[in-house]
Amino acid sequence: MPLSRDPLLDKLEPLRKLSRHVALGYATAVASVGAAVLVRYKFGDTLAIGTFITFYPAVIVTTLLGRWRPGILSVALSLLAADYFFVPPIYALSLSFAQAVALFLFGLNMTFIVGAISLLHEALDRLSDREQKMLIVLEAAPVGLVAVDDSGTITMANPEVEKQVGYPKRELIGKKIEDLIPERFRVAHLRDRTAFARHPEARAMGTGRELFALRRDGSEVPVEVGLNPIRQRGREGVLATVLDISERKSAEQKQEILIREVQHRARNLLSVIQVIATRVLVPQHTVAESRRVFLATLKSLAQTQDLFAAKGVALLNEIIELEVQPFHSQVSIAGCAVSLKPKVAQDFSLIIHELATNALKYGAFSVPEGRVSIAWQKEQDEFTFSWTESNGPAVVPPVRHGFGRTILHDLAKAFSDDVVLTYAGTGFTYMMKAMWPSIAEPEGSGVPAKVA
């Protein structure tokens, strides 16, 4: 199966293009037969050339350039010219029986040549069309396709591979396949390629391992590779299908974070309810009063969850106010109106939820006298957010990097330039800085918002 244009077909392509011009073929028939007559007249006696010998090149050239119809015309003209100019009596079309048999055999022989060359043309046409159709299919394939010969040299690459690795085709062809493998995997890949050459079979490459392709800019892209042994122009090789799985990997990572977040939120929610119950269900309150406060707090938490689920885009102050509503007497909020981008709104809601949960479990919200100051502002194109706790329990820095810190630091770094968590004796402080265009929708004008 050809996976790149055959060099021989490329060399014959000009001839095939000429052969499609019918008028040129007929003109060639007349000119070539005329030239054969002149050559026979000029050199026939000197070189002892036979009567018909000069007409063979004329028929061959005509058929090569014009295919079978001009070829048949050249045969007919050759028979007439031979009879008229060279078969006695010359300049007459009368023939003896022997002469007629000789001309018939000459015509039959040349017709056979025309047929053979015409069949060759047809075979080349079919081979070229088949190859062209195959190349079209390969070029249009939605996955990357790269052919490699037995020496590891790339002989074909389709446009999808060009997009995946960032090399134009002219640079890919002739390059070693190991050049597209990250350096840390090259020795193992060369060993695996040698083993595959000894026992070639269609299979996935690197089953159970993560595979990466090295891009022209030095970056790496996760891929899946399928291997199929092929034979091209007498040499063994491999056709590899290459699939960029960056989006799948990203989706899997997001799914993993989502699962962990659901688990984390469930644990946090139970912890929040436990702390609320501890603070509300105290001997100083009557059963009715404790029940009223407890249910109101749970309702507030439910509203916060509904906001996260229902709104992909939200005002920052709405997210904050709903999250800290059960503790409104302990909170001061000040900031400009910010209409967050969908992804940022989702991440910010997780961050605020985590801050409020931590404050409730360990910080300012865990005691009645605790206070939290939440502020944000826009200065030119820079957005600054702060969460400052005071009058709470003594601050103890965490001893391990848990999932909560992943949300507060790692998740925030996706859209912010600077994140600082400070565990001071006076209280916990969370600071974040980001470029305004990276977090806000165009309508987020930066005008003052509600201050609580």
Confidence of residue 29 (pLDDT cuts 50, 70, 90): confident
What architecture is the 249-439 domain classified under in CATH?
Answer: 2-Layer Sandwich (3.30)
| Residues near 409 by beta carbon (within 8 Å), at least 6 away in sequence | 419, 421
Helices and strands in the chain, H and E counts: 14, 11
The 10s digit of each residue's pLDDT in 288-342 is 877 766 776 666 556 555 655 565 456 888 888 888 888 888 999 999 988 888 7
What architecture is the 141-244 domain classified under in CATH?
Answer: 2-Layer Sandwich (3.30)
What is this structure's pTM?
0.44
Question: Residue holding tokens 């229902």?
Answer: 310
The 10s digit of each residue's pLDDT in 394-430 is 888 887 766 577 778 887 888 888 999 999 888 999 9
- Tell me which residue of 169, 159, 164, 167 sits closest to 138, measured CA to CA: 159
- What are the boundaries of each domain within the chain? 7-139, 141-244, 249-439
Give strand ranges (E) for 321-425. Answer: 331-335, 371-379, 382-390, 418-424
Q: What is the pLDDT of residue 280?
A: 61
Helix residue ranges per DSSP H, 3-21: 7-19
CB 51 within 8 A of CB 87: yes
Calculate the alpha carbon distances from 68 to 31, 36, 104, 110, 126 in Å.
16, 19, 19, 11, 16
